[in-house]
């Protein structure tokens, strides 16, 4: 998924520049439409990649899942059950599958990765509305509002998925921690 996102970002940036040059020389409205279209796509993909990279550079998937922001209440969990978030598994793309792989990471680390992913998508949701400012210069306000809203809704799905899965992951992490503590005690008792 990472390669596809990066490739889409690069292609849309190149197409934006190409059609901008054509628009400047030909002054045809169709080329302005293409500049706006590819530019909007480029913005959304580049912004997503940049936010993900910036947050990862700071937190390295080690966010504290016990913080209040990351706790999921019973009412919220019922809402996710009503939406059948569980059935989304396998249908939603994952940028970095390795971050959620229990063969590579402890369940504590995976829980932290869900928090980081949630924060990334929440920031992206907010930044999805920034292209609306372009309508001041380019017009087409409804197009910018619609694409920004749909983009934010798409990222909201990822936030819900992380919040739905986290309580289960935390339970597994707590079991793993208790098991490790028991093993340490037994090892200490054997040494004595």
Single pTM value for the model: 0.87
| pLDDT, one tens digit for every residue, the chain (192 residues) | 788 999 999 999 999 999 999 999 988 889 988 998 899 999 999 999 999 999 999 999 889 999 999 999 999 999 999 999 999 877 888 888 888 889 999 999 999 999 999 999 999 999 999 999 998 888 888 889 999 999 999 999 999 999 999 999 999 998 888 888 777 777 777 765
**80-89 long-range Cβ contacts below 8 angstroms, 24+ apart:** 80/160, 80/163, 80/164, 83/160, 85/160, 85/161, 85/164, 86/164, 88/157, 88/161, 89/161
Distances (CA, A) of 46 to 41, 82, 154, 187: 9, 33, 16, 50
């Amino acid at each position: 998924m990472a390669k596809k996102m990066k490739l889409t970002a690069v292609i849309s940036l190149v197409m934006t520049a190409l059609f901008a040059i054509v628009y400047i020389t030909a002054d045809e409205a169709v080329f302005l439409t293409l500049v706006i279209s590819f530019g909007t796509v480029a913005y959304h993909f580049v912004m997503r990649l940049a936010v993900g990279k910036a947050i990862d550079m700071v937190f390295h998937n080690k966010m504290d899942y016990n913080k209040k922001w990351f706790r999921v209440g019973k009412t919220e969990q019922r809402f996710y059950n009503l939406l059948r978030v569980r059935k989304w598994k396998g249908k939603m793309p994952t940028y970095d599958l390795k971050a959620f792989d229990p063969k590579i990471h402890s369940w504590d680390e995976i829980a932290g990765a869900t928090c980081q992913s949630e924060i990334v998508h929440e920031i992206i949701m907010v930044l999805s509305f920034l292209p609306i400012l372009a309508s001041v210069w380019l017009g087409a306000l409804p197009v910018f509002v619609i694409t920004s809203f749909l983009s934010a809704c798409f990222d909201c799905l990822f936030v819900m998925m992380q919040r739905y899965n986290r309580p289960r992951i935390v339970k597994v992490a707590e079991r793993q921690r208790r098991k490790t503590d028991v093993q340490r005690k037994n090892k200490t008792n054997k040494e004595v």
